[in-house]
Copies of this chain bind each other. A is one copy, B any other.
Amino acid sequence: MDGPTVGRPSRPGGAGTPANRLGAAVVGLGGAVATTAVAGVELLRLGICGQDGLPLAARTDLVPYEDLVFGGWDVSADDLAKAAHLHGVLEPAHIEAVAPQLQRLRPWPAVADPGYCRAVTGANVVAFDGLRERAERIREDLRRFRDEQDLDEVVVVNLASTERLPDPASPALASVEAFEAALDDGDEAVTPSMLYAYAALSEGMAYLNFTPSSGAGVPALTRLAERRGVPVAGKDGKTGQTLIKTVLAPALRSRALRVEGWYSTNLLGNRDGRALEDPDSLASKTATKESVLDSVLGYPVEDHKVRIEYYRPRGDEKEAWDNIDIVGFLGRRMQMKVDFLCRDSVLAAPLVLELVRLLAEARRRGESGVQEQFGFFFKAPMTVGGGVPEHALHRQEQILLDWLDGGTSAAGSGRS
């Protein structure tokens, strides 16, 4: 283990372990979202911040935020205080308040393949000889994290920069057996995010993919999750523009206002944005953004365009500008413009905290495989068997609340 973790002081040895010591092993621990999540838990513990942005703060049936313990990998070896300072997401006074805790947290060396993410690199990387060896190293990291921190449960969380998309038809991704063989053969179809997902599932740990990368979203790995009896959730956190899109589009549909065109542009200047300067990573990102609208509306929008621009002056303060062309009664045209001046990591971090708690709850309930009922949090919700996901936010919320209130994940399988 390359660095200590934060989340809760080491327990005094000896006495019985509480049931809810919950670890989050984060791929991309030094990124803006992860550092915001980690700092947020510390600030909540100190009572410095309230529960704004945490949708499930009022639920008493989930592991308390204060019981989360963080660790993880990053291509940068900076401790999280330094990372938080660089990202500029938090108020300086807040960073200062939890600086001692953040300084103690240093990312483990990442297992990064520059071929899959060319725009972001760093020095904190371990050498390896092949895919199998890399997967083993990740599994070792996870076991060490669990044991050293005396954790009851670990959720592996993907917050790394977006990879380019794999070939979905690759035979190596079609079954568990083919995937195992691909690991031994060094098959290029296996991306870094798959490696981490494979390692998590192999260790029996739940897996959360908050990015547009593939993660566990291939048949080989969803099957592995089912076999190993562990829940997985993803993908691509729904935070800004797509959030608004899945709110406005159902409303326009309910009023029978026809969408003739929807132009979306995003300006962002953080590490995520820089990664998207790689056209392959960008394609991966826009693909999930574009698929949403037609699904919600129930008809194809001819001119739906989504642009994502790396724009330095903004840093983590993302701007999402949307223009919507609408046709109403008697063919009359109208327009709507939405300008969301948001903060990427501020919107994302609390959702990550909720999802880690929800995956622990799913594990407690014995759920395994894809957890459709968590679609509320995602731009491209994974579905069982590749079904069409529900995208409308209000219906996703209802499905989630029904599950929490005692329904089963089956509640999420039907589309109202």
Residue numbers of A with Cβ under 8 A of B are 36, 39-40, 43, 49-55, 57, 89-94, 243-244, 247-248, 250-251, 254-258, 260-261, 263, 265, 267, 302-303, 305, 307, 309, 311-314, 319, 321, 323, 325, 327-343, 346-347, 349-350, 376, 392-395, 397
- Contact across chains for B341 and A335 when beta carbons are under 8 A apart: yes
- Contact across chains for B323 and A312 when beta carbons are under 8 A apart: no
Main secondary structure, interface of A, reads mixed
A85: shortest Cβ distance to chain B, in Å? 12
A302: shortest Cβ distance to chain B, in Å? 7
Nearest residue (CB) in B for A329 is B53
- Contact across chains for B243 and A255 when beta carbons are under 8 A apart: yes
- Tell which of B40, B250, B338 touches A330, judged by Cβ atoms closer than 8 Å: B40
A323 to B320, CA, bound (A): 11
- Contact across chains for B257 and A329 when beta carbons are under 8 A apart: no
- Contact across chains for B346 and A328 when beta carbons are under 8 A apart: yes
For the complex of A and B, list the 9 residue pairs with the smallest distance between their C-beta atoms, beginning with the closest.
A53-B329, A261-B313, A313-B325, A394-B394, A247-B251, A53-B328, A337-B339, A260-B313, A332-B346
- Tell which of B40, B256, B340 touches A53, judged by Cβ atoms closer than 8 Å: B256
Contacts of A267 in B (CB 8 A): 263, 323
- Contact across chains for A263 and B53 when beta carbons are under 8 A apart: no
- Contact across chains for A350 and B256 when beta carbons are under 8 A apart: yes
- Tell which of B244, B261, B302, B350 touches A329, judged by Cβ atoms closer than 8 Å: B350
19 interchain pairs (CB within 8 A)? Answer: A51-B256, A52-B258, A90-B330, A91-B331, A94-B330, A247-B251, A251-B394, A265-B307, A303-B311, A305-B311, A321-B323, A328-B342, A328-B343, A329-B349, A332-B343, A334-B341, A334-B346, A336-B340, A337-B337
